[in-house]
Amino acid sequence: MSTTTKETLGFQAEVKQLLQLMIHSLYSNKEIFLRELISNASDACDKLRFEALNNAALYGDDTELSIRVRFDKAARTVTIADNGIGLSREEAIEHLGTIAKSGTREFFSALTGDQAKDAHLIGQFGVGFYSSFIVADKVTVVSRRAGLPADQAVCWESGGEGDFSVEITAKAERGTEVTLHLREGEDDFLDAWRLKSIIRKYSDHITLPILMAGEKWDEEKKEQAPSGEDETVNQANALWTRGKADISEAEYQEFYKHVAHDFENPLTWTHARVEGKQEYIQLLYIPARAPFDLWDRNARHGVKLYVKRVFIMDDAEKLMPLYLRFVRGVVDSADLPLNVSREILQESRDIESIRNGCARKVLALLESLADSEDAAGQAQYTQFWGEFGKVLKEGVGEDFANKEKIAGLLRFASTHADTPEETVALKAYIGRMKEGQEKIYYVTAETFKAAQNSPHLEIFRKKGIEVLLLSDKVDEWVVGNLSEFDGKSLQSVAKGGLDLGKLEDAAEKEETEKAAEEYKTLIERVKTALGERVKEVRVTHRLTGSPSCLVSEDFDMSGNLARMLKAAGQNAPDVKPILEINPQHPAVQRLKTEETRFDDWAALLFEQAVLAEGGQLEDPAGFVKRINDLMLALSASGQ
């Protein structure tokens, strides 16, 4: 196929959908198209600089990188041009015709059809280049990839409906020119003052000069006329190199939107110049909302690495531990070599020390929010926890050096509240422990409801002892890696024999011992009836309302974790549970005299304990039959 002729191609289905949605829902904030296009131009120049580190020829004789904005009143166009890396024909098709972002599917399934809600989602997802179509009914991109000859440029054009065209063309200089043919009624963008004020508002932090034709007053014509000289509209210095006192809140926020490719303001940030063994500047932001690709451990757009103001790469993994992968921002090192490659980064001790410094800084920032006295700081931490808590939890097992700090930042649902949103910190839990309580008690389950209704909690409820309710998948990982906090050990209420230490009531203990003796024969019969399904059967005073529950040995895997592993298709050891029965319960007492249906009763005690844990029965149909048989038998006997 010849690539010189003009071809028309269809947008990827998602692009079409996105374009439609976006034009309607972002219209009230339409001027942001300029920010997005300038942000792309700036990224393109960063990429050129980086590629040129190994191939200086890419610059040709055009070494002054800049972005140029101009408009043409007669043609009703606005053009954003850069001399960055440019696009080849294939790149134009791929980058401007499809969305390669991870999380795209999640994004589309999250859309509701409600315009206000969707506008919010679109903002989070980021529309980038496509925002041009909010104000333009035709967009022309002429671009020449650095290193390609002048006659190998590409002209990409689209009306933002279903398709776009591409054609090989000629372009004298390297880089990209995006021309917006404005929609009817958008003429107010054809005004130097308006464009300049938008640039200053959103793009002041861009490190390259953003140039516009200078104007001067023409006394004769009584209007602004070209002065013949370029004017740099933005400050054009790297924002992070400026002093904190010289940077306004709005500037920090706009810079965040550029580095994070986010439409919303960040939750908070920290900006510091680190001196010592490694010298670097860190400007790190916590986003207000989790991105769509939070769970994609390979997602891009983390912290950008600069060396002496030169962009080196986007790389969340090397500059931030994985459990802080939601952090966005910039690290600018004064010491790393400019030609640092990914391979070098992998091994570099310097990077390791920067990463540790950054992690500590972020944790300190989070601590300051979590411990803040004022309501605003508290609310910020609550929001942070809601968005990123589950990711931060990974850190307990990942970052040994900061484990205690991370544990202090964790929040858990508990039996002291009715909803999963009302959480408690471990420190606060310890602060309100019962007199004589020595352990931090928790239960893990698949859902908050299952945790809340777990039969294992009955004795704790009765005694008013608080139990943490853990129902995130990652919680098993947390408790597996955190055996104590502040000198208090963490204890699952579904593991081991019930040992309440000083909280135990001597009378209760005695009663259980008595019951154990009294129920000895019964217990043996139940064990025989259940056979291989259980490891052991024993009486307990853990339960007050339920007849039975399952527990595991202290060092065995919890039933919840075993189920999770199996659901994920992994091998889980076949650990048999211990069945505990409540001697006070009428169903258990009745069993003492049961002859004909003993095995069915025993099976039911076991099966309901499995169900109460959120487990699955091996033989659900058998369970249903047993229930029905017993119901019929009970009604026949008139009980």
The angle at the Cα of 189, spanning 186 to 191, to the nearest 5 degrees, equals 135
Candidates 66-74, 126-134, 289-297, 491-499: pick the segment binding Mg ion (CB under 5 A): 126-134
Which position among 11, 18, 40, 333 is part of the footprint of Mg ion (CB under 5 A)? 40
Residue 128 binds Mg ion, judged by CB under 5 A: yes
- Give the nearer residue to ligand ADP in terms of CB position, either 70 or 488: 70
82 binds, among ligand ADP, Mg ion, none (CB under 5 to 8 A by kind): ligand ADP
Our finding on whether 36 is near ligand ADP (CB under 6 A) is: yes
Write down the least CB distance from residue 215 to ligand ADP, Å.
Answer: 25
Among 41, 52, 78, 358, binds ligand ADP (CB under 6 A): 41
Q: Is 259 in the site for ligand ADP (CB under 6 A)?
A: no
CA distances from 113 to 109, 119, 299 (A): 11, 10, 27
109 to 11, 14, 386, 556: CA distances (angstroms): 19, 11, 21, 39
- Give residue 579's Cα distance to chain centre: 39
Supply the DSSP symbol for 112: -
266 binds Mg ion, rule: CB under 5 A: no
User: Using CB under 5 A, which residues numbered 76 to 115 contact Mg ion?
Assistant: none
Q: Is the Cβ–Cβ distance between 36 and 128 less than 8 Å? A: yes
Q: What angle do CA 187, 191, 197 make, to 5 degrees?
A: 115
Dump the DSSP string for 295-329: T-TT----EEEEETTEEEEE-HHHHS-GGGTT-EE
Only segment of 33-41, 116-124, 193-201, 513-521 that touches ligand ADP (CB under 6 A):
33-41
Shortest gap between Cβ of 314 and Mg ion (angstroms)?
12
Choose the contact partner of 59 out of ligand ADP, Mg ion, none; CB within 5 to 8 A by kind. Answer: none
Which one among 103, 126, 266, 287 touches ligand ADP, defined by CB under 6 A?
A: 126
Which backbone phi and psi does 444 adopt, to 5 degrees?
-110, 140
Q: Does 203 bind Mg ion (CB under 5 A)?
A: no
Q: How many CB atoms lie within 10 A of CB 97?
A: 17
Smaller CB separation from ligand ADP, 125 or 429: 125
Q: Which CB sits closer to Mg ion, 125 or 164? A: 125
Tell me how crowded residue 416 is: count the other CB atoms within 10 A of its CB.
16
Q: How many residues bind Mg ion (CB under 5 A)?
A: 2
Closer to ligand ADP by CB, 94 or 114: give it.
94
Question: Quick one: CA torsion of 95, 97, 98, 100, rounded to 10 degrees?
Answer: 10
Residue 278 in the binding site for ligand ADP (CB under 6 A)? no
Stretch that binds ligand ADP, among 36-44, 213-221, 363-371, 395-403 (CB under 6 A): 36-44
The residue from 18, 32, 40, 437 that contacts ligand ADP (CB under 6 A) is 40
Q: Which of 279, 274, 316, 282 is nearest to 296 (CA)?
A: 316
Pairing of strands 328-333, 67-72: unpaired
Q: Is the dihedral of CA 561, 565, 566, 570 positive or negative?
A: negative
**Nearest Cα residue to 486 out of 572, 548, 445, 425:** 425
Judge contact between 387 and 289, C-beta under 8 A.
yes
Per CB under 6 A, contacts with ligand ADP among 92-111 are 95-96
Residue 9 beta carbon to ligand ADP: minimum distance, rounded to whole angstroms:
15
Specify the residue, 176 or 282, whose C-beta has the smaller distance to ligand ADP: 176
Q: Note whether 129 binds ligand ADP by CB under 6 A.
A: yes
- Residues in contact with ligand ADP by CB under 6 A are 36, 40-41, 43-44, 82, 84-87, 95-96, 126, 128-129, 176, 261
Q: Contact positions toward Mg ion, by CB under 5 A?
A: 40, 128
